[in-house]
Amino acid sequence: GAVVSQHPSRVICKSGTSVKIECRSLDFQATTMFWYRQFPKKSLMLMATSNEGSKATYEQGVEKDKFLINHASLTLSTLTVTSAHPEDSSFYICSATLGGGDVETQYFGPGTRLLVL
């Protein structure tokens, strides 16, 4: 149980284009989903917290207009990297929690590797 999927797993795009990444909880309803970014050999960096039906809460330093997050349902959240640039190349990972408690185990998707040329 508690399986999270991400699509696509890998994407290469040209600079200036937008890329959408989907995160789905397959066998549970996720009240909260998280979006992370990870650089090689670095820790996970939380970008934003997303609750179904409400606006995402972005971490300091993360541009809301550049990284658009939509949590349309209890099983789907999307991250759109708008006007991507080479510095946006990274490993993007989503996670989801079952909800209901103050401390929840996060279940991670397999990640999306983005390369912007």
Partner 1 sequence: GQNIDQPTEMTATEGAIVQINCTYQTSGFNGLFWYQQHAGEAPTFLSYNVLDGLEEKGRFSSFLSRSKGYSYLLLKELQMKDSASYLCAVVDSNYQLIWGAGTKLIIKP
Minimum CB distance to partner 1, residue 83 (Å)? 26
| Region at 75 (left for phi over 0; alpha for psi -120 to 50; beta for the rest) | alpha
Provide the mask over 50-89, with x wherever binding to partner 1 is found by CB under 8 A and - wherever it is not.
----------------------------------------
Contact 52, 97 (CB under 8 A): no
Residues paired with 93 in a beta bridge: 36
Residue placing its CB nearer to partner 1 in the complex, 75 or 106? 106
Alpha helix stretches (DSSP H) within the chain: none
Residues paired with 29 in a beta bridge: none
Binder to partner 1 among 43, 54, 60, 87 (CB under 8 A)?
43
CA proximity to 49, closest of 30, 33, 66: 33
Tokens of 100: 């209901």
Minimum CB distance to partner 1, residue 40 (Å)? 10
**Range in contact with partner 1 (rule: CB under 8 A) among 13-21, 61-69, 76-84, 106-114:** 106-114
Given the rule CB under 8 A, which residues bind partner 1?
6, 41-46, 91, 93, 95, 102-103, 105-111, 113
